Chains A and B, each alone.
Chain A
Amino acid sequence: MRDIFKLSLFLLVVAGISGAGLSYVNSLATPLIAEQIRQNKIDSFKEVYPQSDKVENESAVYLKDAHDPALKEVNIAYRGGMPAGVLYAVETKGYSGTISILAGFDIADSRITAIKVLSQTETPGLGAKAKDRFFQDRYKDKNTTLPLEVTKTAPVKDNQIQAITASTITSKAVTKGVNAAREHFNATFGAGKKQ
């Protein structure tokens, strides 16, 4: 009986020391991790909507009565105190998992400024190319009036997006996500609805 007591006491001491050590390392690392996540977010925002003074998450206001489950976040980019752009975080189902995308829209011109694939689990070498610059650039400066369509050949109309070779499902998924954001943008910030 004494043995069991001694053994458990020993394990308890070991666990206590390791817990103390961990909580110390954790207290050092947590602010760094938080800072780096924040910085990451700011960088992504800058990438899809470059000219802004500050970006505010206003999902609470704009997603109150939005029914599309693809829409995750609405961030408003301010320039000179006025809302100038909208940054949508959307999620969509790709070939092998969820793709999350950040899509930027310019309010004055009703156009897409840029998109950025934040995370994806698509096939490396195929659908994973969705996160490459060349594909994301195909969405740049598209007008928001018409729904975007995916084509397998070079686009002839403004609302067409050329798919990644051999990855039509991924391309369609990304386009679907951007379209969800586009519809919400048109309904909320489109011509004549500016706040």
Chain B
Amino acid sequence: MSLANEFTKGIIRENPLFRLLLGMCPALAVTTSVDNGLGMGVAFSVVLLASNIVISAMRSIIPNSVRIPAYIVIVATFVTMIDLLMHAFTPALYTALGIFIPLIVVNCIILGRAEAFSGKNPVIPSIMDALGMGVGFTLALVLVSAFREVLGAGTFFGQTILPENIPAIMMILPPGGFITLGCLLAILNKIQKKTA
């Protein structure tokens, strides 16, 4: 029961992007197409999962006073590994995400989970926590990028679905990112008020 709870909380109730407002930089920058949004979400989830496992396994031997630098080193190691592997195996995605791959290291969600969860909990719940947060963040990125790609380029996963003259290029330019995220947050607020 509680394990399932650790998993589901990240998807809706504590969704890192929509509810905790963390990780906004990549959510705005790479969501110009669903491909990129999904790729970023997966890369992020892998790093979060790996660092959550390691940090949770080492939680009893990491001295409290140097835990933050230790977390940073662990997270940065996994980020660099993902960076190298993506460069080798998914070159197109690597070019599209560019600087935002190394910047996963300063994504507040990962350090936040280390500080709030995996640094205090056993490995299994930490895995569930990472999976939930990863899926939640990925879904959020896909949602934002689906709006932007459909409205801005008239395509979905690269397939044209709207006629040539409908899409507003603005939506895949920087302002479109701010508008989409702003509106989605407002809509979610509204829904939450109704259900609450």
Contact = CB atoms under 8 A, between A and B. Distances in A.
B88 A32 contact: yes
B76 to A, nearest CB: 8
Interface stretch (B10-18, B39-47, B79-87, B123-131): B79-87
B60 interface: no
B163 interface: no
Given A6-B63, A18-B74, A125 B153 contact: yes
A22 B89 contact: no
B161 interface: no
B81 A22 contact: yes
A125 to B, nearest CB: 4
Contacts, number: 57
Contact of B66 (A10, A18, A36, A126): A10
Interface string B167-196: 101001100000000000000000000000
Interface residues of B, number: 25
B73 interface: yes
A11 B32 contact: no
A25 interface: yes
A124 interface: yes
A26 B84 contact: yes
B79 to A, nearest CB: 10
Nearest to A25: B81
Interface in A48-93: none
A100 B87 CA distance: 21
Contacts of B87: 29, 33
Contacts of A7: 63, 65-66
B98 to A, nearest CB: 11
Given A25-B85, A26-B84, A29-B88, A10 B70 contact: yes
Interface string A97-126: 000000000000000000000000001111
Nearest to B75: A18
Most buried by B among A7, A14, A40, A123: A14
5 contacts: A11-B73, A25-B80, A25-B81, A30-B84, A32-B89
Given A26-B84, A29-B88, 12 more contacts: A11-B66, A11-B70, A14-B70, A18-B73, A18-B77, A29-B87, A33-B84, A36-B91, A123-B169, A125-B152, A125-B167, A125-B172
Interface of A: 6-7, 10-11, 14-15, 18, 21-22, 25-26, 29-30, 32-33, 36, 40, 123-126
Interface of B: 32, 62-63, 65-66, 69-70, 73-74, 76-77, 80-81, 84-85, 87-89, 91, 152-153, 167, 169, 172-173
